[in-house]
Homo-oligomer: A and B are copies of this chain.
Amino acid sequence: MLLYSLDLFGTAVFAISGAWVACRKDMDIFGAMVLAFVTAVGGGTIRDVLLGATPVFWFQDTLYLTVIFASTLFAIALRKWHEKAQWPLQVADALGLAVFVVIGADKALTYGAEPVVAVMMGVLTGCGGGAIRDVLADEIPNVLRNEVYASAAIAGGAVFVFLNSVLGFTLAAVISATLVLLMRLLALYNNISLPRFQLPKINN
């Protein structure tokens, strides 16, 4: 099934991004495995836990673990090329995000979530893994600060949840995933960011 292949593709891409953060942070091979793992399946795992869909999805299907393992070794082997790989990696990441958002929102709907909650679960599936990766790497999650990453996920999730009830799953998935992909590519191309706002430090 195409969606499943894309899901594994997204898993591989997210795993590579996690492994490279581990390299940057001077972790060992185990650290790279863990960061690859949480980046790839962290968002979906939290989604499953919140839904009560336990045991979580990668318990039943170890192909996810195999893909993550292979991707981590691949990322470590090719770590010297990480700079040249930035552009293709981010395009691949955009596709992974699009797929994860659709899968996450769809799973929440099958568990009877309200539309707005289904959108949140899509965003969580797409962005949660990267956020845990950043927390483990002792950084503020990038998704909370930079780029049109979250807004692409939100827009995609909202469009999917709406169209899914009107046009059915397949069309909704294709359209919303395309939307996420286009928003991400446009953002990468233009380096757009959401408006930021700052406060003077509060002593509390």
Contact = CB atoms under 8 A, between A and B. Distances in A.
A197 B23 contact: yes
Interface residues of A, number: 63
Contact of A197 (B79, B141, B144, B204): B79
A198 interface: yes
Please state the number of chain copies in the assembly. 3
A65 B117 CA distance: 9
A76 B197 contact: yes
Interface string A67-101: 00000000010010011001000000000000000
A174 to B, nearest CB: 25
A65 to B, nearest CB: 6
A62 B117 contact: yes
Interface in A180-198: 193-198
Interface in A41-78: 45, 49-52, 54-56, 58-59, 62, 65, 76
A28 B113 contact: no
Given A28-B144, A145-B28, A201-B24, A116 B54 contact: no
Contacts of A23: 197-199
A198 to B, nearest CB: 6
